[in-house]
Copies of this chain bind each other. A is one copy, B any other.
């Protein structure tokens, strides 16, 4: 009666450590149809005491403070990288070389050069599957948007308007790792913009061909250095610390304009200074047959405008994406309109990763390193465009 399992080694036990652990814990309970379920084998971190406690609470069988060793464990089949961006490259390549499947947090890497190395490693590691945690693809409303767009309900796309707006980074927030280029690679751009670039590509199936203009800004140039090693920023409440100041080396906000292969034009905005929006992550897409609109702060609804409907009743339809049988992932959860939250996107992703690893198709496509590399190209082009103050064709970077 028990289902086959696959052993997962998760590196990182902070914000993403929790979201991933929760996903591994719950997936088998809600996805009875899976042919493979994850086993929580090893959790990796630096602070042994914290790690033990985390493992006990969440049910990880083993702990390790040596990620290389943990990765090398022959029992481990899947390596899940939930660390800050500066560790993605090294860990992913090591895991791939060890013959493991890899699920890596987003953005793929700190910059394009690193991403390229990771992509090459993935291409070489033929038996290994790669996944990237662009979890918002698996918010049911976003998955439905993808399905509608692919079914032709949007038609030829004219406009993509993508944004990821937060407001937690006022001047009193100290210099946590998210403000350090060495650890993060970038600020709002890679942290937030990466998600909506991915979402735009995922829903439309279209690709960016040029960043036509960009602005990058750091509103708060210096911040207080936290007294101790610091915490996880948005996830760990980041208290202000009295003391010496340090320089912020990433963007607080990045906006760019772009052209798509199809002829559509796009705008993308990411910021940590959008007072009033704590996690407004969404997009609007307008085509000649219809339009869609999504905002994560109201994540259970997709807004769809059917421009082919009788004009008398045309309008924005607010679809509650919770109907089992008709809406992606809905049958696995609660009754209609017994709504889902943030964490469910991760659980849905684990379910789809398990499907792929057991030879089944995912509900909607999962991003692998090939796919995530394309998002990284756009990130890089936008960064270059902002710095060099000129349009940057994607082809220039490939």
A201 interface residue (CB < 8 Å to B):
no
Tell me which residues across on chain B come within 8 A of A258, comparing CB atoms.
Answer: 215
Q: How far is the CB of A343 from chain B (nearest CB, A)?
A: 7
A237 to chain B: closest residue by CB: B324
Given that A257-B257, A288-B170, A316-B317 are contacting pairs, would A276 and B215 also be in contact in the complex, using a CB cutoff of 8 Å? no
Q: How far is the CB of A82 from chain B (nearest CB, A)?
A: 15
Tell me which residues across on chain B come within 8 A of A92, comparing CB atoms.
Answer: none
Q: How far is the CB of A309 from chain B (nearest CB, A)?
A: 8
Cβ B215 vs Cβ A265 within 8 A: yes
Tell me which residues across on chain B come within 8 A of A317, comparing CB atoms.
Answer: 313-318
A73 interface residue (CB < 8 Å to B):
no
Cβ A338 vs Cβ B257 within 8 A: no
A181 interface residue (CB < 8 Å to B):
no
Partner of A319, one of B288, B313, B391: B313
Cβ B257 vs Cβ A215 within 8 A: yes
Cβ A2 vs Cβ B312 within 8 A: no
Partner of A159, one of B263, B274, B284: B274
Tell me which residues across on chain B come within 8 A of A255, comparing CB atoms.
Answer: 257, 265, 267
Cβ A343 vs Cβ B337 within 8 A: no
- Distance A258 CA – B364 CA, assembled complex (angstroms): 37
A319 to chain B: closest residue by CB: B315
Given that A57-B29, A313-B148 are contacting pairs, would A297 and B337 also be in contact in the complex, using a CB cutoff of 8 Å? yes
A287 interface residue (CB < 8 Å to B):
yes
Partner of A336, one of B168, B170, B286: B168
A397 interface residue (CB < 8 Å to B):
no
Q: What range describes how many residues of A lie at the interface?
A: 35 or more
Task: Report A278-316 CB contacts with B as 1/0, cut-off 8 Å.
Answer: 111000101111110100111111001111000111111
A275 interface residue (CB < 8 Å to B):
yes
Task: Report A325-358 CB contacts with B as 1/0, cut-off 8 Å.
Answer: 1110000001111111111100000000000000
A278 to chain B: closest residue by CB: B337
Cβ B318 vs Cβ A315 within 8 A: yes
Cβ A273 vs Cβ B286 within 8 A: yes
A259 to chain B: closest residue by CB: B215
Tell me which residues across on chain B come within 8 A of A306, comparing CB atoms.
Answer: 313
Cβ B257 vs Cβ A214 within 8 A: yes
Task: Report A117-140 CB contacts with B as 1/0, cut-off 8 Å.
Answer: 000000000000000000000000
Cβ A312 vs Cβ B327 within 8 A: yes
Q: How far is the CB of A393 from chain B (nearest CB, A)?
A: 11
- Distance A388 CA – B344 CA, assembled complex (angstroms): 46
Could you write out 19 A-B pairs with CB less than 8 Å apart? A1-B56, A158-B273, A213-B385, A213-B391, A214-B257, A237-B325, A255-B265, A273-B286, A276-B291, A278-B322, A279-B337, A279-B339, A297-B320, A297-B337, A301-B315, A314-B323, A316-B317, A317-B318, A341-B344
The 9 closest A-B pairs by CB, nearest first: A213-B213, A279-B337, A278-B337, A276-B305, A341-B341, A315-B319, A278-B336, A338-B342, A276-B291
